[in-house]
């Protein structure tokens, strides 16, 4: 028999409001496009009663620890286990969950040597049920979609959001509509959406085109949008920070480094850090730094060229297809997080991304190219002395290696940069390549290969 889920003593489950990030307007309800009806900017979820409720950090920590012993579905989820800091549900038993979260924190000894930062960790969000961090937000947003009575959910995606949404919609008995840019997402991600039964439209545009079309669609049709504009997604994505800090015994690292695309994830993690600090769960704020691909560097340019005041759109182009985004929706939230935590915003080249991905892979930890921007960015931040060798650093790996096998195979075969301006520079990556070897099926041939490999290892 499942053990009944527990609540933190003295905690009135989190009543929440929608707060406009620009004009400060506060409302009980959000419209279909999750924008402020007054100024059209994005909404975030706030919890006005936390202060009155007198949440105790010690009670929260011990409740979350205790829930690890429970077999109830909400407690087995690495997201809902932290539900005291999430929007309250009408009924906890009705969550749509695939046991998301619960991801490992790994040490990276070889990357530590490469970067000169001995205390280097990776929190691998690619080990979520559908292979990316999106599941932590999706369990919350999909649950609220069903609670609100929606039959259809929809998203625009570079692949991971659609895979995750399709899975949670299927688990929750809802229909899903996916808008992805044709030819610009990996087959693995596309195949997930198909397998989970989504109506999948490959639009002849880029991600930004898909997202702007979706914004119009939700105002015309009864579909619930599950992009990270949806603030319930970001509330779920906060929990990676809670789980990370619990794994570090509530001792904050000096730096957390995340990839930046549409900028929902960095906003969510930053929000979690700020809330944890306000609730005395942590004694100081880690610096949250955001790394983008050079070819999709809207936030980097926005910060450098306008001081974070005005978004500079870019025409995005990068092989890290998950972050091929030129008009990031949550840029203002991300700027706020950079300012509040004192983090940096950097960009890395295609070659640097490929090299970092192979270096993480050589530790036995597979991630997708977009995740590897974190290690590539760390190297730059060390060089700039923004990160010091005696500091603790956590990289957030957002997606699984298996999400984009074409990239990995292209890298190891040596044709990833063929016929591109990076072709000659990519020769520097040869020592990291581990190409497949085609042989006659003879014992001799295999033994010779083994001996060769031993000689050069
Ligand atoms: N890493 C991976 C693996 C992603 O899939 C994404 C975004 C990001 C990083 C960037 O996160 O957008 O919150 O800044 N993927 C989205 C998608 C856009 O549709 O799957 P972000």
Strand partners, 199: 177
Residue 211, token pair as written in the block: 């997202």
Residue 175: enclosing H or E segment and its boundaries? Answer: strand 175-181
**Ligand 1 atom at minimum distance from 263 CA:** 14
pLDDT for the residue numbered 2? 38
How many A from CA of 323 to the centre of ligand 1? Answer: 6
Nearest-5° Cα angle at 347, 227 to 371 = 55
How many A from CA of 183 to the centre of ligand 1? Answer: 17
pLDDT for the residue numbered 14? 59
Determine the residue of 135, 259, 353 to mutate for testing ligand 1's pocket, defined as the one with the most ligand atoms within 8 A of the Cβ atom.
259
* Cα–Cα separations (whole angstroms), residue 191 to 159, 186, 242, 386: 10, 9, 31, 40
Cα-only R_g, the chain = 22
How many A from CA of 260 to the centre of ligand 1? Answer: 7
**Ligand 1 atom at minimum distance from 403 CA:** 3
**Ligand 1 atom at minimum distance from 259 CA:** 9
Are 365 and 123 in contact by the 8 Å Cβ rule? The answer is no
Distance CA 92, CA 238 (A): 19
Q: Which residue's CA is minimally distant from atom 19 of ligand 1? A: 157
Residue 399, token pair as written in the block: 């997606």
Distance CA 245, CA 157 (A): 29
Closest CA to 75 of 105, 100, 103, 104: 100
How many A from CA of 261 to the centre of ligand 1? Answer: 5
Q: Distance from first CA to last CA of the chain, Å, rounded?
A: 54
How many A from CA of 262 to the centre of ligand 1? Answer: 7
Determine the residue of 42, 323, 360, 377 to mutate for testing ligand 1's pocket, defined as the one with the most ligand atoms within 8 A of the Cβ atom.
323
Q: Which residue's CA is minimally distant from atom 3 of ligand 1? A: 399
φ, ψ (nearest 5 deg) of residue 305:
-95, -20
Is any atom of ligand 1 closer than 6 Å to the C-beta of 370?
Answer: yes
pLDDT for the residue numbered 4? 42
Please report, to the nearest 10 degrees, the dihedral formed by the alpha carbons of residues 341, 346, 351, 352 taken in order.
Answer: -40
How many A from CA of 322 to the centre of ligand 1? Answer: 5
- Say if strands 393-397 and 120-124 run parallel, antiparallel, or are unpaired: parallel
φ, ψ (nearest 5 deg) of residue 341:
-100, -10
Is any atom of ligand 1 closer than 6 Å to the C-beta of 263?
Answer: yes
Q: Which residue's CA is minimally distant from atom 5 of ligand 1? A: 322
How many A from CA of 308 to the centre of ligand 1? Answer: 21
Determine the residue of 180, 189, 235, 265 to mutate for testing ligand 1's pocket, defined as the one with the most ligand atoms within 8 A of the Cβ atom.
265
Neighbours of 174 (CB within 10 A): 18
pLDDT for the residue numbered 9? 40
Are 369 and 404 in contact by the 8 Å Cβ rule? The answer is yes
Is any atom of ligand 1 closer than 6 Å to the C-beta of 181?
Answer: no
Residue 327, token pair as written in the block: 């008009």
How many A from CA of 86 to the centre of ligand 1? Answer: 21
Determine the residue of 193, 262, 324 to mutate for testing ligand 1's pocket, defined as the one with the most ligand atoms within 8 A of the Cβ atom.
262
* Cα–Cα separations (whole angstroms), residue 101 to 140, 200, 316: 12, 26, 30
Is any atom of ligand 1 closer than 6 Å to the C-beta of 155?
Answer: no
Is any atom of ligand 1 closer than 6 Å to the C-beta of 398?
Answer: yes
pLDDT for the residue numbered 6? 45
Distance CA 148, CA 172 (A): 13
How many A from CA of 190 to the centre of ligand 1? Answer: 15
Digitized pLDDT (tens) for each residue of the chain, 457 residues in all: 333 444 444 444 458 999 999 999 999 999 889 999 999 999 999 999 888 888 899 999 999 999 999 999 999 999 999 999 999 998 888 999 999 999 999 999 999 999 999 999 999 999 999 999 999 999 999 999 999 999 999 999 999 999 999 999 999 999 999 999 999 999 999 999 999 999 999 999 999 999 999 999 999 999 999 999 999 999 999 999 999 999 999 999 999 999 999 999 999 999 999 999 999 999 999 999 999 999 999 999 999 999 999 999 999 999 999 999 999 999 999 999 999 999 999 999 999 999 999 999 999 999 999 999 999 999 999 999 999 999 999 999 999 999 999 999 999 999 999 999 999 999 999 999 999 999 999 999 999 999 999 998 8
How many A from CA of 158 to the centre of ligand 1? Answer: 7
């Amino acid at each position: 028999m499942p053990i009944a889920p527990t609540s933190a003593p003295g905690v009135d489950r989190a009543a929440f409001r929608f707060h406009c990030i620009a004009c400060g307007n506060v409302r009980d309800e959000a419209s279909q496009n999750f924008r402020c009806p007054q100024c059209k900017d994005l909404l975030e979820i706030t919890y006005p009663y936390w202060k009155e409720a007198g949440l105790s950090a010690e009670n929260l920590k011990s409740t979350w620890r205790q829930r690890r012993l429970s077999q109830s579905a909400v407690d087995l989820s690495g997201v809902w286990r932290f539900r005291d800091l999430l929007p309250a549900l009408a009924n906890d038993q009705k969550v749509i969950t695939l046991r998301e979260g619960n991801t490992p924190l790994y040490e990276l000894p070889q990357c530590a040597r490469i970067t000169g930062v001995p205390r280097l960790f990776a929190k691998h969000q690619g080990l979520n049920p559908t292979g990316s961090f999106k599941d932590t937000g999706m369990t919350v947003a999909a649950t609220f979609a069903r609670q609100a009575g929606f039959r259809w959910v929809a998203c625009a995606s570079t692949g991971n959001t659609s895979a995750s949404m399709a899975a949670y919609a299927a688990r929750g008995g809802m229909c899903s509509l996916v808008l992805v840019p044709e030819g610009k997402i990996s087959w693995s991600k596309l195949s997930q959406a198909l397998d989970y039964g989504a109506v999948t439209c490959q639009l002849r545009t880029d991600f930004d085109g898909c997202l702007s079309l979706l914004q119009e669609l939700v105002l015309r049709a009864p579909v619930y949008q599950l992009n990270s504009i949806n603030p319930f997604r970001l509330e779920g994505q906060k929990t990676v920070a809670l789980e990370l800090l619990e794994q570090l015994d509530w001792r904050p690292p000096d730096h957390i480094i995340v990839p930046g695309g549409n900028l929902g994830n960095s906003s969510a993690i930053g929000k979690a850090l700020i809330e944890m600090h306000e609730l005395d769960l942590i004694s100081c704020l880690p610096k949250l730094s955001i790394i983008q691909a050079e070819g999709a560097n809207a936030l980097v340019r926005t910060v450098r060229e306008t001081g974070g005041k005005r978004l500079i759109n870019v025409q995005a182009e990068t092989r890290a297809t998950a972050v091929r985004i030129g008009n990031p929706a949550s840029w203002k939230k991300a700027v706020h997080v950079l300012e509040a935590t004192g983090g940096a915003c950097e960009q890395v080249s295609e070659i640097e991304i490929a090299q970092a991905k192979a270096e993480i892979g050589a530790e036995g930890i597979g991630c997708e190219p977009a995740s590897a921007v974190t290690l590539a960015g760390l190297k730059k931040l060390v060089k700039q002395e923004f990160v010091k060798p005696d500091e603790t650093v956590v990289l957030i790996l957002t997606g699984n290696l298996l999400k984009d096998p074409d990239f990995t195979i292209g890298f190891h075969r040596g044709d990833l940069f063929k016929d591109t301006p990076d072709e000659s520079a990519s020769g520097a990556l040869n020592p990291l390549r581990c190409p497949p070897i085609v042989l006659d099926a003879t014992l001799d041939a295999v033994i010779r290969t083994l001996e060769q490999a031993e000689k050069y290892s």
